[in-house]
Homo-oligomer: A and B are copies of this chain.
Amino acid sequence: MSACGRADFCFLLLLGLTLCPLCVTAGKILIWPEDFSHWLNIKIIIDELIERGHSVTVVTQSATQSIKTDQSSGYNVEVIQVPYSKKDVGDIYARLLKYWMYDLENDNMIQGFVKLSELINDMFEQNHALCREVFAREDLLEKWRKEQFDVLLTDPAIVCGELLAQKLNLPFIHTLSFSFARAMERHCGKLPATPSYVPAPGRLYTDHMDFLQRVNNFLFVVLTDIAFDLMAVAKWDRLFTEVLGKPTTRCETLGKADMWLIRTYWDFEYPMPLLPNFQFVGGMHCKPAKPLPKEMADYVQSSGDDGIVVFSMGSMIKNLTKERANTIAAALGQIPQKVIWRYTGEKPETLAPNTRIYDWIPQNDLLGHPKTKAFITHGGNNGLYEAIFHGVPMVGIPLFSDQPDNIHHMKTKGAAVMLDFNKMQTEDLKQALVDVINNPFYKENIMRLSQIHHDQPMKPLDQAIFWIEYVMRNKGAMHLRVEAHNLMWFQQHSLDVIAFLLSVIALVVYIL
């Protein structure tokens, strides 16, 4: 929807007011995407932008894992040559997966801490190298400057999109579900810190906390804000200062965003304060189900009244240990439903006749099938929103990143049972499935969330596009950015005012 197409705008135009420079018909958008499921998500926006006649340029690296760089997808691609290979990146993710799925269980605390530090450092080294390569490419920067993009869309999970936007002097928009402890949104985006009723992601609390949880949440919020700054000082601030040629920090640069598109909504979040430049777009990719492939459709149909269970651990998990795979397969064999399992590892010995393994599944179409009774998921944002969209209760087996938090939200809203991947036994998984399938509590709750999801003034994808085009036609959205960005942290929280008032009171008491 371009502004010019709207009745009240046309009315203003008829009055001879020269608003047309502000209207977007076809614009140019620069994209700084992250890999894997993040890419799948931003790709939805890219496709829609192209559909609406915009020109899209994607910046990626030679070592990308998921991003198609063959220019057959309708967008332009700029591939940054990086001094590490696809395999190097893949290896880090494999180590990360191994860390979360096995090491965390088996290592002692010091071993675990060392491994995680090494991992984070190696990821940082790659990201840092990517940034250095981008900003060394004067030719590319010059080309992009000449292109005169209208906006840059960045995924802050991979650093430097915000820096590129500032370097090119472009309005920019973040797209994310949430950062660890929501430190990025709160500390850099100035989302109000209300730790008494807004649990920081990472704590697995709800908005209803007892005193000790509130103490814990308060400390967690304060400490993660400090940690965010320390990490940035150690890793990023010097690069940001060098590139921009003036003293700055990563946090300050992140906070210059015109808009934050958050990939959740009140179907997922506990109610909390928002800012005018934060907009929810959770579930952009969800659609009504299309018919299944013939073989799969027949299999699903053959399940009769018992229906089916859909099972996927996401695109990153290729393999499980023999023991875990057998534990899971044995549980699946004990339920009357048929099971469709997306799995590329070796076929487990305990696999029962009611379970079929597939390399790939049309997940959204399966979740939208009327015979689907439950979804076993690792709790990635994409799958979780498909389950909300179609109203399918979940058994969550989270592994890492935002997954434990995601599943915890669904559990506390009564729409999922949460299991521990490393500790769960066959009986646990079986019982969880029996519960979410047969206890109407779970179905009622997921239907309530589905109702909330569908009952919005605008669909999530339309919402995302509206605000991207909004930033384009208004050359930014600085009028939606709170003045807190121009205050020091102690000013923002009125600590200087409180100290002053306490001093005055102390003085008066002293004199009296």
Binding site for B on A (CB under 8 A): 3, 6, 8-9, 11-12, 15-17, 19, 22, 191-192, 194-197, 207-208, 211, 214-215, 218-219, 266, 270-277, 288, 370, 391, 447, 450-452, 454-455, 457-459, 463, 466, 470, 473-474, 479-484, 486-487, 491-494, 496-498, 500-501
Q: Would A215 and B501 be within 8 Å (CB), given that A196-B484, A487-B196 are in contact?
A: yes
Query: Given B219, B370, B454, B480, which contacts A8 in the complex, CB threshold below 8 Å?
Result: B454
Q: Would A457 and B451 be within 8 Å (CB), given that A273-B275, A484-B197 are in contact?
A: no
* Structural contact, B274 and A273, CB atoms closer than 8 A: yes
Query: Given B391, B483, B498, which contacts A270 in the complex, CB threshold below 8 Å?
Result: B483
Most chain B CB within 10 A, of A6, A271, A493, A501, is at: A271
Docked complex Cα distance between A270 and B479 (Å): 8
Closest 5 CB pairs of A and B: A197-B483, A207-B483, A273-B273, A271-B482, A192-B192
Nearest residue (CB) in B for A10 is B288
Nearest residue (CB) in B for A199 is B483
Docked complex Cα distance between A500 and B457 (Å): 43
Q: Would A482 and B197 be within 8 Å (CB), given that A215-B500, A219-B501 are in contact?
A: yes
Docked complex Cα distance between A463 and B457 (Å): 8
Least Cβ–Cβ distance between A29 and chain B, in angstroms = 18
Docked complex Cα distance between A483 and B194 (Å): 11
Known: A12-B454, A196-B487, A451-B474. 17 other contacts (CB 8 A): A6-B454, A9-B454, A12-B450, A17-B447, A196-B497, A197-B484, A207-B483, A214-B496, A214-B497, A215-B500, A218-B494, A266-B479, A266-B480, A271-B482, A273-B275, A274-B274, A458-B458
Q: Would A483 and B271 be within 8 Å (CB), given that A192-B192, A457-B458 are in contact?
A: yes
What are 14 A-B pairs with beta-carbon distances under 8 A? A3-B454, A22-B451, A194-B484, A196-B492, A218-B498, A219-B501, A271-B277, A271-B482, A272-B482, A274-B274, A274-B275, A455-B473, A457-B457, A457-B466
Docked complex Cα distance between A272 and B451 (Å): 29
- Which residues on B sit within 8 Å (CB–CB) of A501? 215, 218-219
Query: Given B450, B455, B479, which contacts A452 in the complex, CB threshold below 8 Å?
Result: B479
- Which residues on B sit within 8 Å (CB–CB) of A481? 271
Least Cβ–Cβ distance between A168 and chain B, in angstroms = 24
